[in-house]
Structure 1
Amino acid sequence: MAYIDPGRRFRLTGHSDIAVSFEFFPPKTEKMEQTLWNSIERLAPLEPNFVSVTYGAGGSTRERTHATVSRIVKETNLKPAAHLTCVDATCAEVDEVVQGYWDAGVRHIVALRGDPAAGVGEKYIPHPGGYQSTADLIASIKRIGDFEVSVSAYPEKHPESPSWDVEMDVLKAKVDAGATRAITQFFFRNEDYLRYVERVRAAGIEIPIVPGIVPVTSFKGISSFAAKTGASVPDWLARRFEGLDDDPKMRELVAAAVAAEQVMDLVDHGVSDFHFYTMNKADLVYAICHMLGLRESEAAPEPVATA
């Protein structure tokens, strides 16, 4: 049975109670910043439940993440969720970041253990003076402010988890510490997600498990990332993108169709909330939402200020 998270809803042709959220990453250059804000402006009228902003490996984008979420608070009606990790930082340093988010008006944090500065797939070693786990991080976040806290979930099991029992124990510890929602790593086989939700419910965990959906803008890129995170790339997906390496327009069309097909199947299984990894590319995600029947609200948010 799908858990329906309360929040804003949208009209979906033939269905009801569909909600979306979008993930962005902080820009590195002035040109990338313009692309990001163009994407936010494009997607804002869909009134997502929230928009999240990532936090680089080893906390490498800390200042840029803070600047981005602060600007979203000041210049839009969107509700930002700031990613936060406990990698390569002391407890005091992390707490300072959390307090800074609260002071900036941010009320939602995506709490993650995080990847080492060396990148995804490298061995995680807790900072000797830092938080040792995501659950520890969440407990501190909740002490500092009444934040909504989202966490990660892994339909195919985290690469470092020795068993499903351990996987469930880790998620339960996050919930016990104060997590209110889990967002999954991307996946392409819906049966993996559905089985995962069954495991979670059987373990007595009742928070929403929101599927993370990634449009495949680069099959080579997503395959490489999947190999590091333990996500499977099925043969049928490879065949969909076969021969399209030098045809970006066709890749976008195929990517939109594949993602829409995946989400529509999940809707048919009773899933109502979706989190899109946008890669800061609005048009593709907007097209997918349109195919799902989502339409701009009549009372759309105020335009994003770009000056």
Structure 2
Amino acid sequence: MAVANIVNQDKKLRQFSFEVLPPLKGMGTEKLFSDIEKLCALNPAFINITTHHSEYVYKDVGEGRFERQRVRRRPGTIAVAAAIQQRFGVPVQPHVICSGATIEDIEYELLDLQFLGITDLLLLRGDKAKEDSVFKPTPGGHTHTTDLIRQVQRFNEGFFADGTPIKCPGAKFDIGVACYPEKHEEAPNLERDMEYLRQKQELGAQYAVTQLFYDNQKYFDFVDKARQMGITIPIIPGIKPLAKLSQLTVVPKTFHCDIPESLAREIVKCKTDEDAKRLGIKWTVQQCRELYEHGINDIHFYTIGAVDSVVEIVRELRVQ
């Protein structure tokens, strides 16, 4: 079943979905598929697979000189998606991003995905490269997610980006996008950021998944405001359990979200990462139960570095 249909079906059905990260170049897939086996035992609605901007590395060419080379740090998004679909029979949703890709690169990604029978996509601009102070589109690439949506929709209509007709059009792609209850870091304000979400809906986005958050009220307020603005697509909450002491400072910096003061007070009492992990599980269970009380039954977990916590959380929620 397509992800768009899954998130629009019976709202009384409680469902979980998960995000996973392909392994670093050369690291192999043993750990990844071990984690996915644990997650698939929970009967997920779907699994999405991240992709990342290519980055510059500097190769020593001798005599004190270095040559800058661009390399893709985490290969395998499409291959991992295909392997999950084949091995586990779970709907998959690879990320397709603007960052680090040309329009032609994206076109070939779409063809590969179509050949594999993978038609659920999460379309994102992607993060800026670490060496850049602001996002810089790849020459010949897109600047915004809205541009990427237009390309995919044009492909769905049976045309390549240059206007050439596709001789044998395949199955059409369904489109999910991201949204930010505490606004995207580059947006001037939440209202402007939400206007971008409305534009994504108008271009054909069928649902949105939020950036992670720890304060449910911010999610509730965001959804209420979205509905007032005419945004009607499902907005799936994205949740990531805290798992380490360092995340008290790392998470707000990396994901640009607030840690509620009540949670921060408890984290500073933790003595070890195991203490922080137990706290993260407890907080996330409470957070999910509050979402349930408000009629939100589709929950998306960011599992990176927290697979065992997520497994425990889902099992606890199912026995309540």
Change (3 A) 1:169 1:125: same
Distance 1:88 1:113 in 2: 10
Distance 1:23 1:294 in 2: 23
Q: Which residue of 1 aligns with 2:268?
A: 242
- The correspondence of residues 1-307 of structure 1 with structure 2, limited to 5 A, is 5-7=7-9, 16-28=12-24, 33-58=29-54, 60-61=72-73, 63-118=75-130, 122-145=133-156, 146-221=172-247, 223-244=249-270, 247-279=272-304, 281-293=306-318
Deviation at 1:166, TM superposition (A): 1.4
Deviation at 1:256, TM superposition (A): 0.9
TM-score, normalising length: structure 2: 0.81
Contact 2:245 2:267 in 1 (8 A): yes
Contact 1:8 1:49 in 2 (8 A): no
Letter in 2 for 1:41: E
Distance 2:73 2:86 in 1: 20
Deviates more, 1:138-147 or 1:80-89: 138-147
Contact 1:53 1:81 in 2 (8 A): yes
Q: Percent identity?
A: 30
Deviation at 1:208, TM superposition (A): 0.6
Contact 1:23 1:51 in 2 (8 A): yes
Change (3 A) 1:34 1:197: same
Q: Which residue of 1 aligns with 2:160?
A: none
Structure with larger RCO (C-alpha < 8 A, sep 6+): 1
Deviation at 1:223, TM superposition (A): 2.9
Deviation at 1:228, TM superposition (A): 4.0
Is the partner of 2:38 in helix, strand or coil? helix
RMSD: 2.4
Deviation at 1:167, TM superposition (A): 1.3
Deviation at 1:29, TM superposition (A): 6.2
Letter in 1 for 2:145: T
Write out per-residue CA displacement over residues 73-111 of structure 1, whole angstroms, 9 at most, x where no aligned residue. Answer: 222211110011111222111111122122122111111
Deviation at 1:265, TM superposition (A): 0.9
Deviation at 1:116, TM superposition (A): 1.7
Change (3 A) 1:72 1:276: same
Q: Structure 2: give runs of 5+ residues left out of the alignment.
A: 1-5, 56-71, 157-171
Letter in 1 for 2:109: V
Write out per-residue CA displacement over residues 272-301 of structure 1, whole angstroms, 9 at most, x where no aligned residue. Answer: 110000115432111111111169xxxxxx
Q: Structure 1: give runs of 5+ residues left out of the alignment.
A: 10-15, 296-307
Deviation at 1:252, TM superposition (A): 2.2
Deviation at 1:128, TM superposition (A): 3.6
Is the partner of 1:292 in helix, strand or coil? helix
Deviation at 1:140, TM superposition (A): 1.4
Distance 2:263 2:288 in 1: 15
Q: Which has the larger radius of gyration?
A: 2
Contact 1:55 1:61 in 2 (8 A): no
Write out per-residue CA displacement over residues 40-99 of structure 1, whole angstroms, 9 at most, x where no aligned residue. Answer: 111213221210011113483563212211211222211110011111222111111122
Write out per-residue CA displacement over residues 173-225 of structure 1, whole angstroms, 9 at most, x where no aligned residue. Answer: 11122111111011111110000001110110110110000011124236324
TM-score, normalising length: structure 1: 0.85
Distance 1:287 1:32 in 2: 26
Is the partner of 2:177 in helix, strand or coil? strand
Distance 2:93 2:213 in 1: 22
Change (3 A) 1:174 1:130: same
Is the partner of 2:121 in helix, strand or coil? strand
Deviation at 1:227, TM superposition (A): 2.0
Q: Which residue of 2 aligns with 1:304?
A: none
